[in-house]
Chains A and B, each alone.
Chain A
Amino acid sequence: MRIGVLTFPGSLDDVDAARAVRLAGGEPVALWHADHDLKDVDAVVLPGGFSYGDYLRAGAIAARAPLMREVVDRAHGGMPVLGICNGFQVLCEAGLLPGALTRNSHLHFRNRDQALRIERADTAWTASYAAGQEIVVPVKNGEGRYVGSPEDLDRLEGEGRVAIRYVGGNPNGSSRDIAGVTSENGRVVGLMPHPEHAVEALTGPSTDGLGFFSSVLQGVLA
């Protein structure tokens, strides 16, 4: 299975995302922001980092990159897309996911090992988990505070689109402890924490993050 990892200028965790795809059993395919070529991939990961230095607004410029047009089109057609951290910001800026990520309430960049609860285990990226399962993966961001108006948040909750929630402490002031959300069809998922940094016991706090990548492989195979 070919999983594309899209690199923008300033992407940082693209090597990590590619490694996670490989360890989960997929074939990582490097995609370049300026191309118009998705290279026949079956799914796309938008990795973490500081695309375009987070200038203007985090993810705002990357969301308008040439290849994002193809990503958005294919996502509307059902291709699974995962946005991690800066990738989540890009998905929100591209209109594929609702809400916005703003400066952490305490104004610090924060990197810590974070407990999460998988609220939805039926998306393309979370099917390897059980609903309600708690996992630990790193979180690291300066602009990771998920916000929305109360009505929008109520609607998201009602539609079951809060896919992942912080537990045991909220690292950045996100509304309703929201760590990640999904599209209505469950094919596009964005989250601030970094599952790609929890794929090896040697280098991560756990291997809990592998499930995101194995989920999409199972789904694509099915």
Chain B
Amino acid sequence: MSIDTVEIAAKTPDDEQPWAELGLKPDEYQRIRDILGRRPTTAELAMYSVMWSEHCSYKSSKVHLRRFGDLPPSEALLVGIGENAGVVDVGDGYAVTFKVESHNHPSYVEPYQGAATGVGGIVRDILTMGARPIAVMDSLRFGRADAPDTARVLPGVVAGVGGYGNCLGLPNIGGELLFDDCYAGNPLVNALCVGVMRHEDVRLAKAEGLGNKVILFGARTGGDGIGGVSVLASETFDEHGPAKRPSVQVGDPFTEKLLIEACLEIFAADLVTGIQDLGGAGLSCATSELASAGTGGMHVDLDVVPLRDSTLTPAEILMSESQERMCAIVEPAKVEAFLAVCRKWDVLATVIGEVTDGDRLTVDWHGERIVDVPPRTVAHEGPVYERPMARPRDLDALQADDAANLPRPTTPEELQAHWLAVVASPDGADKTWVTEQYDRYVRGNTVLAQPDDAGVVRIDEDSSRGIALALDGNARFARLDPYAGTQLNLAEAYRNVAVSGATPLAVTNCLNFGSPEEPEVMWQFAEAVRGLADGCRELGLPVTGGNVSLYNQTGDVAINPTPVIGVLGVHEDVRRRIPTGWRAGGETVLLLGETRPEFGGSAWASVVHGHLGGRPPAVDLAAERRLGELLAGLPGLVTSAHDLADGGLAQTLAESALRHGVGARLTLGADPFTTLFSESAARAVVTTTDPAAVRAAAERAGVAVTDLGTTGGDALVVDGVLELGLAELRAAWTATLPALFGTPEATVGAVPPS
């Protein structure tokens, strides 16, 4: 095998190079030549191609994402955007880091491994900050629930999320599962991880200290995931293209579990000066980012990297996205102690290089120089595009097609049928089929998990301090108005955290869109970012980081813009958390917030009429804030709280009642249809044994209160209108997903006599 070296490259400027196949544009290739003053070597070309991919460089989104950096400084933010994940002060000396990342394209190509390694990747991001990962969540979207390809993709994705997270020992505390035609060729798999540490334990990814060693540890490097970020995540799927399965990584959660424990022991003994995980773009990313963030240069001897496949070329080793690998910068005096911890955990660790003076990243292969680049040009100074933007041509017509004009139920029977239809729709239905495949109990600190509105985890067993997390991303609203839709998603996640009794503290996001090369998609993206930034400013919350996934489209059909927003809240005492389900009869059911006739993008319009049009509900973040502050003061006064979102009051009442099998007798006013199916924001349902006190508190907070009725019985009874038995409701709600994806009931087979 002949190796392309720096020396050869300098002598052969006219050699043809496969830059287009690696996903680079002509001007990008020329820029690499300009930076280096020669053609890149094969290995350098590989590094630039993966690091300058959309996935790693954010080249189309960067100019917009700057808005998050312009938000007013937050006292809670210890580490902001730019590191592997943001870090937030949650009190008592604890810091929490959390982030969502997409693994959409790999999950379509290879559902199990794509989803599994999505979990693995985000967990390593959190670990890299110095934190112990404590929980995961997943936000999933698929094509129509009854489409044949959904039956291929969904079970694999769910098994992959579960298989990896369960084996790591991380409780899955919630997420989303939604269906829409627009995701048929582009399912979305967004995984969140949250970790906790003490303030003083925060770690950063930079290579400092001349002579410090670069140690690669974890799994061996194999041929999996080569070009995952460039040929997979940064291009639109094409029906006729080659199979891309080799670009999907293969996960080994057992190795990752060992890596977690080894890292935490290494952190505790203060053995590293910098650390970075190997995710997208593998070693190319880890070495160039560490070197770029530090003050000196870095040298790596690539031939000592432990391989799974000895035939890999240097370029492939640099691009491989083999999972469960980390890279650390370690002082020479601490190397032996570092390696000893790795030995204890059976983690392979190899010194592959060191921090040098100067400002170059150099890589040798058996003594020959194959990479010699300024690391910043690889990691942080990639191309930046101001892509053209255009408001979608169909948006005016879409917004004019008002859902308020749709035929409404005219009889109590129809009203009841619509109620059942929304609750039994794949989006509204019971998600147990999925969540039963996830471990929610491991580590013993899960206080609330799906189907509660937010996941709540205790972080200190003595003080009972804890956190709450919610992920929300209504793409119908975002399609109708990406600015308002994104704010509504922010509002929903904020509300979900607030109804658990927590105080919202910080925001993360995973922005899933179509191709940035389409001006209409770029406009949606810019509007979504602007909406989120403005929303966070109004709510007084920092954006701690995020992830952008573009090219979610097949041919020229993009997904609905899907900004998934995560909100983190803090519980000073998780014992005061508020659950969503009704437990007892005789309690007063109160609706907090105002209901307006708002049906644009609603579940009712979608489920009953297959309609998407009009305007999304009005955004009133001041009202969200008032509601949140009211709820934060209510623990002790309310016995349950459940937010209103997709499916409106109809969905919320059903879920609250079915949780523990407690019904209610309700009065829904002159227009029960609007009361049940409107999706006005800033609302929640609470139950209480002291309605006067809740009313008084709401009045002081400036939140409208409507008395809906009293809990009890085995039906949801709307006085004078209908009576929906809980048995019938439960049957409809629970039947949907098993009917679609199989009923995993246990069968007891006989073992043949021995």
How many A residues have CB within 8 A of the partner chain? 51
- Roughly how many angstroms separate A175 CA and B750 CA in the complex, as a whole number? 7
> Within the complex, which residue of A55, A148, A173, A177 is in contact with B749, where a contact is CB–CB below 8 Å?
A173
- Roughly how many angstroms separate A82 CA and B169 CA in the complex, as a whole number? 20
Which of B162, B437, B748, B752 has most A Cβ within 10 Å?
B748
20 contacts between A and B (CB under 8 A): A9-B254, A9-B346, A10-B258, A13-B442, A49-B169, A50-B254, A55-B254, A105-B746, A108-B159, A110-B436, A140-B166, A140-B441, A145-B746, A148-B751, A150-B751, A151-B754, A176-B748, A200-B444, A203-B444, A204-B441
Q: Does residue A160 face the partner (Cβ distance < 8 Å to B)?
A: no
Contact A108-B744, Cβ < 8 Å, known A149-B752, A203-B447: yes
Known: A16-B442, A106-B746. 9 other contacts (CB 8 A): A12-B169, A53-B255, A106-B744, A111-B437, A140-B166, A177-B748, A199-B444, A202-B575, A203-B458
Q: Does residue B465 face the partner (Cβ distance < 8 Å to A)?
A: no
**What is the chain A residue whose CB lies nearest that of B166?**
A109
Question: Chain A, 52-85, contact with B by CB distance < 8 Å: what is the 0/1 string?
Answer: 1111000000000000000000000000000000
Q: Does residue A194 face the partner (Cβ distance < 8 Å to B)?
A: yes
**What is the chain A residue whose CB lies nearest that of B466?**
A202
> Which residues of A (76-97) have their CB < 8 Å from a CB of B?
none
Contact A110-B744, Cβ < 8 Å, known A150-B751, A152-B754: yes
Which secondary structure dominates where chain B touches chain A?
loop
Question: Which residues does chain A contribute within 8 Å of B751, judged by CB atoms?
Answer: 147-150, 175
> Which residues of B (433-449) have their CB < 8 Å from a CB of A?
435-447
Question: Which residues does chain B contribute within 8 Å of A15, judged by CB atoms?
Answer: 443-444
- Roughly how many angstroms separate A82 CA and B447 CA in the complex, as a whole number? 26
A-B pairs, top 9 by smallest CB distance, nearest first, are: A53-B254, A12-B169, A106-B744, A173-B746, A197-B441, A149-B754, A16-B444, A108-B744, A50-B167
- Roughly how many angstroms separate A172 CA and B749 CA in the complex, as a whole number? 11
Closest Cβ–Cβ distance, residue A216 to chain B (whole Å): 19
- Roughly how many angstroms separate A61 CA and B39 CA in the complex, as a whole number? 52
Q: Does residue A196 face the partner (Cβ distance < 8 Å to B)?
A: yes
> Within the complex, which residue of B258, B435, B745, B748 is in contact with A174, where a contact is CB–CB below 8 Å?
B748
Question: Which residues does chain A contribute within 8 Å of B749, judged by CB atoms?
Answer: 105, 173
Question: Which residues does chain B contribute within 8 Å of A55, judged by CB atoms?
Answer: 254
**Is there an interface contact between A111 and B440, defined as CB atoms closer than 8 Å?**
yes
**Is there an interface contact between B750 and A150, defined as CB atoms closer than 8 Å?**
yes
Q: Does residue B345 face the partner (Cβ distance < 8 Å to A)?
A: yes
- Roughly how many angstroms separate A149 CA and B744 CA in the complex, as a whole number? 24
Which of A10, A13, A169, A199 has most B Cβ within 10 Å?
A10
**Is there an interface contact between A52 and B254, defined as CB atoms closer than 8 Å?**
yes
Q: Does residue A4 face the partner (Cβ distance < 8 Å to B)?
A: no
- Roughly how many angstroms separate A202 CA and B750 CA in the complex, as a whole number? 40
Q: Does residue B407 face the partner (Cβ distance < 8 Å to A)?
A: no
Q: Does residue B136 face the partner (Cβ distance < 8 Å to A)?
A: no
Question: Which residues does chain A contribute within 8 Å of B745, judged by CB atoms?
Answer: 106
Q: Does residue A107 face the partner (Cβ distance < 8 Å to B)?
A: yes
- Roughly how many angstroms separate A53 CA and B163 CA in the complex, as a whole number? 11
Residues of A within 8 A of B (CB): 9-10, 12-13, 15-16, 19, 34, 48-50, 52-55, 104-112, 138, 140, 142, 145, 147-152, 169-177, 194, 196-197, 199-200, 202-204
Question: Chain B, 165-180, contact with A by CB distance < 8 Å: what is the 0/1 string?
Answer: 0111100000000000
Closest Cβ–Cβ distance, residue B514 to chain A (whole Å): 34
Q: Does residue B257 face the partner (Cβ distance < 8 Å to A)?
A: yes
Closest Cβ–Cβ distance, residue A17 to chain B (whole Å): 9
Closest Cβ–Cβ distance, residue A202 to chain B (whole Å): 6
**What is the chain B residue whose CB lies nearest that of A153?**
B751
> Within the complex, which residue of A106, A149, A150, A151 is in contact with B747, where a contact is CB–CB below 8 Å?
A106
- Roughly how many angstroms separate A162 CA and B745 CA in the complex, as a whole number? 23
Closest Cβ–Cβ distance, residue B30 to chain A (whole Å): 47
- Roughly how many angstroms separate A71 CA and B444 CA in the complex, as a whole number? 26
Closest Cβ–Cβ distance, residue B556 to chain A (whole Å): 38
Question: Which residues does chain B contribute within 8 Å of A197, judged by CB atoms?
Answer: 441-442, 444
Q: Does residue B572 face the partner (Cβ distance < 8 Å to A)?
A: no
- Roughly how many angstroms separate A175 CA and B441 CA in the complex, as a whole number? 25
- Roughly how many angstroms separate A133 CA and B748 CA in the complex, as a whole number? 24
Q: Does residue B574 face the partner (Cβ distance < 8 Å to A)?
A: yes
> Within the complex, which residue of B162, B444, B447 is in contact with A109, where a contact is CB–CB below 8 Å?
B162
Question: Which residues does chain A contribute within 8 Å of B746, judged by CB atoms?
Answer: 104-106, 145, 169-174
**Is there an interface contact between B748 and A202, defined as CB atoms closer than 8 Å?**
no
Question: Which residues does chain A contribute within 8 Å of B437, judged by CB atoms?
Answer: 108-111
**What is the chain A residue whose CB lies nearest that of B742?**
A106
Question: Which residues does chain A contribute within 8 Å of B720, judged by CB atoms?
Answer: none
- Roughly how many angstroms separate A200 CA and B461 CA in the complex, as a whole number? 11
**What is the chain B residue whose CB lies nearest that of A137?**
B441
**What is the chain A residue whose CB lies nearest that of B170?**
A12
Question: Which residues does chain B contribute within 8 Å of A171, judged by CB atoms?
Answer: 746
**Is there an interface contact between B748 and A19, defined as CB atoms closer than 8 Å?**
no
Q: Does residue B93 face the partner (Cβ distance < 8 Å to A)?
A: no
- Roughly how many angstroms separate A50 CA and B255 CA in the complex, as a whole number? 11
- Roughly how many angstroms separate A54 CA and B444 CA in the complex, as a whole number? 22
Closest Cβ–Cβ distance, residue A21 to chain B (whole Å): 12
> Within the complex, which residue of A49, A53, A194 is in contact with B252, where a contact is CB–CB below 8 Å?
A53
**Is there an interface contact between A19 and B444, defined as CB atoms closer than 8 Å?**
yes
Q: Does residue B367 face the partner (Cβ distance < 8 Å to A)?
A: no
**Is there an interface contact between A107 and B744, defined as CB atoms closer than 8 Å?**
yes
Which of A9, A16, A34, A176 has most B Cβ within 10 Å?
A9
- Roughly how many angstroms separate A105 CA and B749 CA in the complex, as a whole number? 8
**Is there an interface contact between A10 and B440, defined as CB atoms closer than 8 Å?**
no
**What is the chain B residue whose CB lies nearest that of A151?**
B753
